[in-house]
Structure 1
């Protein structure tokens, strides 16, 4: 089988798994089950160099360093990290990545489009479906993977199969929007209907030819955005003006529902888009009472419930059919079978200034050099835990409105303040006066951790004047 070029879409900002998933820390970059994120699990599925070329990842400005760092942790080489300048749904994203794949690997290369936030069993059944899809794609078909339904789900679109092309692949008779439950039950009883997984495979030229025919304006806009793309460190920045002219629609609406070349591979492998807490519960390894406990959690005299805590120990007693999810700064409690409604709660939180930030960021924020956790905030002071990856350094910077105290609690720090550079080890500290140029670096082989105490009249993150920065942010 010809090698496949994976295109991984990693720019989504969904909040259906709030409070763990937020706009600036979405579910694809979070560990839910096991010690890898969903994005890292996706990278692992395309890691066989005998089957796959290095992947192309499409994301945005906010997530670019998360993508790079999580790929580095997996020791995965990426062909490109493509940055969308504005959000434009899946059709323009797939088009841009396919054009780049065609430049790298030729017009006939096979492209597999993958979401970064799906949980899939990478087993023999999955690989068999992959081979079937590749065969259909090589013949000129635009292939989608139809997941064999296990219940009359109303949160997915459906695909009705048509005539058999060859064993394991069919034409697409029609796409069905997310149905009401009675309609979903009717389709399952009839047979021949599959969940629309949002995964695709096609030859690059076959997809681009259909896009140009069906959406010529989008094709032209994305072509120009790719032609005018700029390199930035390890990233490819699509040109903003032409990309913003591309229609904001999905690949399904733009191409798959209109083309006569659509094919579907009915796929019985285990799959979940982890779109709600009940989906996490179903995959979580239930005990004899149907409970799933993840992290710092204890469950007593309860049944059919999901309990997750990343920080404080969460103990629950006497509950049934409940989701109890604790992040560092918020707790969600609700019926497990109504967890599809979390999005409505997030909209309510976002509508009030007092709670709006709970929908956007976590107390822990990640940066290309590591990150920081907010520990305590007060009048004219705040306390943070900084963590710096081995070999990384922060920008050379200064602040107009605050001074800082750093105390090393783990590792070795190289600290520059003004003209002086010094090494600090555990339990040693340094003071950075307001307005002084300074820099922090980790020259060691282990993670550097510090406690930072900021004092001053204004403590916002925008009071950072970067003088030089190895990540191109100055």
Structure 2
């Protein structure tokens, strides 16, 4: 078997609205700990341990850049991070990764992975990846089809032809690794899904792919030269920003919005050289965690079929998913329900209706409420803050600053701030003065005064901030200097 290093390309976009209120626009599901002690994007990378891989590439929304960098750094897997100023679907995102690799003189085998999948049988997953490498090296565009376990209407499907596709010699583990793809099909109704399942020719479309960077660009040039041109232009005018590659917003915004399936895979299947698209079956307990019922499916249950996380007491309740972030949740006679409690919201839903959670998110947005976008606890590159109380002219925050980090040098026009150190050491700039504060010490910063906060210590800095004034919005910040490029 040929030994080629794989370049993991992790697609970390998406809003995760179907997992609200756990998932929000600024903290979607791929950055949450759903099934283990690691977040989903971390699990995506960690399940590659043992494979011969290069440093990963992550494609993410600009708003999520610091979360991606921090979470990948935590598992010692920080590679190149390409920022999308706007979402343009998977075909352009993968093009950015492929073009970036080729610019670096690296025509590597790209393993394109979504950041929000669960794969329980990692050994089988790695075995399938290894078997598929010779196919990609031979110029095939490989997609991974999930062996269906039931008639699912929430996934697209891949119809496999009877033609076996293999590369390598007779000793290769990849012999007869996959099948030529006959077609990609949309999400079916239940009757059609039953037919697909009975036929044995259909697989769930996982959205995972493997191919050489140059191979993908070649086919994109043939079938969607407009996408390729826009992506090339956006990278030509790209700029480096700390750990990130920031593509040109104007050029990328002009790029058509299309998926890799529509842009490349389907047209290629219909062409004369259709044997270039190969589906490799994957049977490794895969789940894309597209709803709360999926979390219930993969989680350990008690004798009554309940999945309880956090402070939960149940009586005569069965087959529920109950998640408590802060408060005690007590249930009596509850059956087949989802109950999710966070610091600022509670969701109660029938487990059979969880696909409609996104409609609640749409209503929250229409009302102009912030709960669709942010949690009460908001993450920043320097740490996080929790808005623990809010009035018309006052707000109280608990602020945590990571060791060695510093907030921007800033000023507010409409609010004053009181800082009380709870734990750690704070280096404070307050107007013309710079000084240290330790536990139980405080300072007052009037409106209009330039100030900054830094943690010079080796332990987290925790403080309480009390704001007062006529306007308390986050947009009342004038930044003069910022190590995270937010000026």
Deviation beyond 6 Å, 4+ runs, structure 1: none
Query: Shift in Å at residue 419 of structure 1?
Result: 2.1
How many pairs align? 469
**1:226 aligned to 2:238?**
no
Mapping of 1:337-376 within 5 angstroms? 337-353=352-368, 356-376=369-389
Give 1:285's aligned residue: 300
Query: Shift in Å at residue 75 of structure 1?
Result: 2.2
Give 1:264's aligned residue: 279
Change (3 A) 1:105 1:123: farther
> Does the CA-based 8 Å contact 2:47-2:122 persist in structure 1?
no
Give 1:161's aligned residue: 160
* Structure 2 residues without counterparts, runs of 5 or longer: 167-175, 269-273
> Does the CA-based 8 Å contact 1:142-1:200 persist in structure 2?
yes
**1:335 aligned to 2:337?**
no
Per-residue CA deviations over 1:254-295 (Å, capped at 9, x if unaligned) read 011111221100000111110000000011111221111112
**1:459 aligned to 2:472?**
yes
**1:310 aligned to 2:325?**
yes
Query: Shift in Å at residue 122 of structure 1?
Result: 5.3
> Does the CA-based 8 Å contact 1:7-1:112 persist in structure 2?
yes
Task: Classify the secondary structure of the residue corresponding to 1:6.
Answer: strand
Give 1:178's aligned residue: 187
CA distance in 2, matches of 1:340, 1:318: 23
TM-score normalized by the length of structure 1: 0.97
Choose from 188, 213, 223 the match for 1:214.
Answer: 223
Give 1:57's aligned residue: 58
> Does the CA-based 8 Å contact 1:45-1:122 persist in structure 2?
no
**1:321 aligned to 2:336?**
yes
Give 2:145's aligned residue: 146
Query: Shift in Å at residue 358 of structure 1?
Result: 1.6
Give 1:198's aligned residue: 207
CA distance in 1, matches of 2:35, 2:458: 28
Choose from 459, 462, 468 the match for 2:481.
Answer: 468
> Does the CA-based 8 Å contact 1:308-1:324 persist in structure 2?
yes
> Does the CA-based 8 Å contact 1:218-1:245 persist in structure 2?
no
Change (3 A) 1:472 1:207: same
**1:46 aligned to 2:45?**
no
Give 2:436's aligned residue: 423
TM-score normalized by the length of structure 2: 0.94
Task: Classify the secondary structure of the residue corresponding to 1:311.
Answer: coil
> Does the CA-based 8 Å contact 1:388-1:441 persist in structure 2?
yes
Query: Shift in Å at residue 413 of structure 1?
Result: 1.1
Query: Shift in Å at residue 60 of structure 1?
Result: 1.7
Query: Shift in Å at residue 26 of structure 1?
Result: 0.7
Give 1:112's aligned residue: 111
* Structure 1 residues without counterparts, runs of 5 or longer: none
CA RMSD after TM alignment: 1.3
Change (3 A) 1:41 1:148: same
> Does the CA-based 8 Å contact 1:38-1:117 persist in structure 2?
yes
